[in-house]
């Protein structure tokens, strides 16, 4: 029934009851007619045999055989009679006419009343006794001896056979007429039902076709209003709904196009400065290199790193650092031509493509930009900062095969400029790139000594679950950080420490120190029946090393821990430059039961393509998303969009540097999973926090 369409269902509902009623009525009357014909035949047979018995009495008594033969001959002249037999009291047939089918035993039997004596498929036999009449004597001269009448005397029998062929023919005709009536009636009913079903289904088909057209994208589909009553209301309502959907679609399409354009812009541009981001810079660099290899003009690439940028952040905060980056971007942009490309590659690093510019001209532009940066003074509140720029210059010619060679050469030249005292330009050919950056060996000794003397203090940055489903009893969330303490020196932040450690292949040692501290803390918490989740920062150099995976597996096995309390966090920027390594590392870590997180996520909306490959459990939101929370509608809308995307993928979101309760409440309302900062808890040594907040907590 479910497989039938509406027209078939209507025909079924109209034809089935009509057919059942018609067949029932005709069958009833046909069967009644057949029974009536059979009754008429039996009635006629009994009447005939009774009459023959009466008129045969005199012939049997008087012995006039000829008259009995005449009676038999007259009887078979009746319609349907095939034979007639007169039998005397001794059972002998004294008059026979026609073809007799009755058996001798039947003819010799003694009958008391008229009735059917035998019947087959083709004929039926009736019999009746011939009785002597009671009025033969004269009652006037013969007195009544006994008042009780005597039983009549049987003096013979008569038998009459009727042929059933006429009855069968009449019954067949009656049955054929009944079937013909049913057939014609069903045809008429079917034609009427089809006409009614088609008239009813036609407007519904128009509605169905209009719905299909709309679902195929033809929003201008409408139905003509030809019906009345409910169907007319439905047609009119569909057209009104279609008009509304078309208006909404047109409005949504406009908004989608605007949002798409905005997202496309954000995917290619840095959210903070409005400059091109690293991905777009590398894309344009590839096009420019392909043009040179095809015979186009040579060009030059500048990789620029700001000097003394970190003190601005440390002294005045990230708002000041962000404003400095915006102002210096405008300063550089004003020095360049329209055909040149300026991009922010990340942090305080910038890249410049000088189109159709090489040799002394490129060096002059680089020197001018370096001089601009040195002469620039950044003013924030009551403080004035002098910064500068270290620039690596790389000329691009046909011998270069990939942009990696260009970036490696520019990177090496930039760090050589820093080694040489900063605020200068160093040039590096792409074909002569040193294997490693050569920098003062001071950092290597300082880091190695700090690790050996245990002067690397690991700090705890507690996380607060903002959503009810994440607030579990006896469960604590924390991110690990670190500072390097040296005698007579200010503490060195983790970012600067990792940057130097990566240049000397010491970053993996710091990573192992973090992991060891986290696993030890998770084990202590477990032994006190507490659940601890640790976010451990990793350097980009550790992602490609199998030794780190083996180290994690070995430490987890020693403590008999499942590993689900350990979340290894690396920068989202790594997925752009080392996507394959990051994806492989993530898969290997998850086989140990550990989790993966991304740091500084969503700043330019260019990283969502990596979410499926990395499959992180959590992401730390870029501060560019939470910096203007509540004061900028665009920032709030962007943060909400990032939150919805990560939530749909089952990824927890973490906002850091949350320093006031108002921002905390807004983040909770937006659905952010966790927060950290002064509004949650101040940073403190990890061992102190573990003892007080976890081990001794109620």
112 assigned to some structural domain: yes
Kindly report the CATH number assigned to the domain that includes residue 290.
3.30.70.270
Q: What is the pLDDT of residues 180-202, one digit of tens each?
A: 888 888 888 888 878 877 777 77
What contacts 258, CB < 8 A, 6 or more positions away?
A: none
Neighbours of 144 (CB within 10 A): 8
Does 229 lie in the same domain as 208?
no
Domain end point (choices 218, 234, 256): 218
Q: What is the pLDDT of residues 78-125, one digit of tens each?
A: 888 989 999 988 888 888 888 888 888 888 888 888 999 888 888 999
Nearest to 534 by CA among 582, 620, 462, 622: 462
Question: What pLDDT does 301 receive?
Answer: 94
Does 247 lie in the same domain as 177?
no
pLDDT class for 421, splitting at 50, 70, 90? low
491 assigned to some structural domain: no
Does 256 lie in the same domain as 179?
no
Q: What is the pLDDT of residues 366-403, one digit of tens each?
A: 999 999 998 898 998 878 888 899 999 999 998 888 89
Does 534 lie in the same domain as 643?
yes
Dihedrals φ, ψ of 420, to 5°?
Answer: -85, 5
Q: What is the pLDDT of residues 670-679, one digit of tens each?
A: 899 999 999 8
**Residue 616 in contact with residue 586, Cβ under 8 Å?**
yes
Q: What is the pLDDT of residues 224-234, one digit of tens each?
A: 887 777 777 88
Q: What is the pLDDT of residues 504-531, one digit of tens each?
A: 778 888 999 999 999 999 999 999 999 9
| pLDDT tops 50 at residue 140 | no
Domain limits at 69?
1-133+152-218
Q: What is the pLDDT of residues 327-364, one digit of tens each?
A: 999 999 999 999 999 999 988 999 999 999 988 999 99
Prediction pTM value: 0.43
**Residue 95 in contact with residue 65, Cβ under 8 Å?**
yes
| pLDDT tops 70 at residue 142 | no
Helix axes 546-559 and 579-591, enclosed angle (nearest 10): 20
Q: What is the pLDDT of residues 545-575, one digit of tens each?
A: 888 899 999 999 998 999 899 999 987 766 7
Domain count, the chain: 4
381 assigned to some structural domain: yes
497 assigned to some structural domain: no
* Euclidean distance between CA atoms 465 and 467, whole angstroms: 6
* Euclidean distance between CA atoms 572 and 517, whole angstroms: 24
Does 293 lie in the same domain as 244?
no
Kindly report the CATH number assigned to the domain that includes residue 527.
3.20.20.450
144 assigned to some structural domain: no
Dihedrals φ, ψ of 503, to 5°?
Answer: -75, -20
Q: In what order do the strands lie in the sheet with 299-307?
A: 341-346, 349-354, 299-307, 388-396, 425-427
142 assigned to some structural domain: no
| pLDDT tops 80 at residue 606 | no
């Amino acid at each position: 029934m479910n497989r039938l369409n509406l027209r078939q269902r209507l025909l079924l509902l109209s034809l089935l009851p009509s057919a059942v009623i018609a067949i029932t009525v005709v069958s009833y009357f046909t069967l009644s007619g057949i029974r009536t014909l059979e009754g008429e035949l039996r009635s006629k047979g009994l009447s005939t045999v009774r009459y023959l018995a009466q008129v045969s009495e005199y012939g049997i008594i008087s012995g006039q055989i000829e008259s009995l033969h005449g009676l038999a001959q007259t009887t078979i002249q009746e319609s349907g009679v095939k034979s007639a037999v007169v039998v005397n009291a001794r059972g002998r047939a004294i008059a026979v006419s026609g073809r007799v089918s009755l058996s001798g035993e039947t003819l010799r039997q003694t009958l008391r009343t008229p009735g059917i004596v035998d019947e087959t498929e083709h004929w039926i036999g009736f019999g009746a006794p011939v009785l002597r009449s009671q009025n033969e004597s004269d009652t006037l001269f013969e007195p009544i001896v006994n008042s009780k009448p005597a039983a009549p005397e049987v003096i013979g029998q008569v038998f009459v056979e009727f042929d059933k062929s006429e009855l069968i023919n009449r019954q067949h005709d009656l049955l054929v007429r009944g079937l013909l009536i049913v057939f014609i009636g069903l045809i008429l009913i079917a034609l009427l039902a089809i006409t009614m079903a088609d008239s009813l289904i036609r407007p519904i088909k128009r509605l169905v076709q209009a719905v299909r057209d709309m679902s195929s994208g033809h929003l201008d589909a409408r139905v003509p209003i030809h019906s009345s009553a409910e169907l007319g209301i439905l047609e009119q309502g569909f057209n009104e709904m279609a008009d509304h959907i078309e208006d909404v679609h047109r409005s949504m399409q406009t908004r989608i196009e605007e949002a798409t354009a905005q997202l496309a812009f954000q995917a290619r541009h840095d959210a903070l400065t409005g400059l091109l981001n690293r991905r777009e810079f590398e894309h344009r660099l590839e096009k420019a290199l392909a043009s040179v290899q095809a015979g186009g003009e040579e060009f030059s690439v500048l990789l620029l790193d700001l000097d003394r940028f970190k003190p601005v952040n440390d002294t005045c905060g990230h708002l000041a650092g962000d404003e400095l980056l915006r102002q210096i971007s405008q300063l550089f942009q004003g020095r360049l031509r329209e055909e040149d490309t300026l991009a922010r590659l990340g942090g305080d690093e910038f890249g410049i493509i000088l189109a159709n510019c090489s040799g002394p001209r490129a060096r002059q532009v680089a020197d001018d930009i370096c001089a601009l940066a040195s002469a620039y003074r950044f003013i924030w509140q009551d403080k004035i900062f002098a910064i500068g720029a270290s620039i690596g210059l790389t000329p691009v010619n046909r011998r270069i095969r990939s942009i990696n060679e260009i970036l490696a050469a520019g990177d090496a030249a930039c760090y050589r400029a820093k080694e040489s005292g900063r605020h200068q330009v160093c040039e590096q050919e792409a074909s002569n790139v040193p294997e490693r950056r050569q920098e003062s060996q001071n950092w290597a000794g300082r880091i190695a000594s700090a690790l050996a003397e245990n002067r690397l203090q690991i700090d705890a940055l507690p996380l607060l679950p903002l959503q009810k489903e994440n607030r579990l009893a006896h469960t604590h969330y924390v991110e690990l950080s670190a500072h390097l303490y040296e005698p007579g020196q200010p503490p060195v932040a983790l970012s600067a420490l990792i940057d130097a450690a990566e240049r000397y292949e010491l970053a993996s040692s710091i990573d192992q120190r973090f992991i060891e501290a986290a696993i030890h803390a998770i084990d202590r918490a477990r032994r006190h029946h507490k659940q601890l989740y640790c976010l451990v920062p990793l350097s980009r150099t550790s992602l490609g090393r199998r030794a780190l995976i083996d180290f994690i597996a070995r430490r987890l096995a020693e403590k008999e821990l499942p590993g689900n309390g350990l979340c290894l966090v690396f920068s989202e920027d790594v997925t752009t430059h080392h996507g394959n390594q990051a994806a492989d590392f993530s898969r290997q870590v998850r086989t140990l039961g550990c989790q993966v997180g991304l740091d500084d996520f969503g700043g330019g909306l260019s990283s969502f393509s990596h979410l499926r490959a990395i499959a992180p459990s959590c992401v730390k939101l870029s501060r560019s998303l939470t910096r203007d929370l509540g004061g900028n509608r665009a920032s709030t809308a962007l943060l909400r969009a990032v939150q919805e995307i990560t939530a749909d993928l089952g990824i927890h979101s973490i906002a850091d540097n949350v320093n006031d309760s108002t921002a905390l409440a807004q983040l909770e309302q937006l659905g952010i999973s966790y927060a950290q900062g002064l509004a949650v808890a101040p940073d403190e040594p990890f061992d102190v926090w573990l003892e007080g907040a976890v081990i001794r907590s109620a």
